[in-house]
Amino acid sequence: MRLRQFLCPECGSRNTAVSREQGSVEYTCHDCRLSIIRRSVRKCPTCGSTDLYYEAGLITGQKYHCKHCDYIGPLVYEEDVEERKRN
């Protein structure tokens, strides 16, 4: 496994930590205390809502159900979202 160094976009420091969880990555700068969280969000193709849940699978493939417009189908959009916060 190769380790990569990440530069803080705020102060330019290389003193950063990376933690990975299911579906998200968090970068934390130890010098300026900035945390950047990047995660992937699923969106409904009809109304754009993120209020989806997994409906079915197995032989029929993946199907999602939108609580907002009642869409049911396999097509969903994934968008990367970035959130910044100070500790």
pLDDT tens string 13-25:
888 888 887 778 8
pLDDT for the residue 2? 44
**What confidence tens digit (pLDDT) does each residue in 37-84 have?**
888 899 999 999 999 988 777 776 788 999 999 999 889 999 888 888
Q: Which residues of 14-44 are buried (b: 16+ CB within 10 A; e: fewer)?
A: eebeeeeeeeeebbbbeeeebbbbeeeebbb
Which pLDDT belongs to residue 22? 77
Query: CA-CA distance, 78 to 64, in Å (whole number)?
Result: 13
Q: Token pair of 68, please?
A: 């907002």
Measured CA to CA, the distance from residue 29 to residue 48 in angstroms comes to 33
Q: Which are the contacts of 82, defined by CB distance < 8 A and separation ≥ 6? A: 36, 37, 38
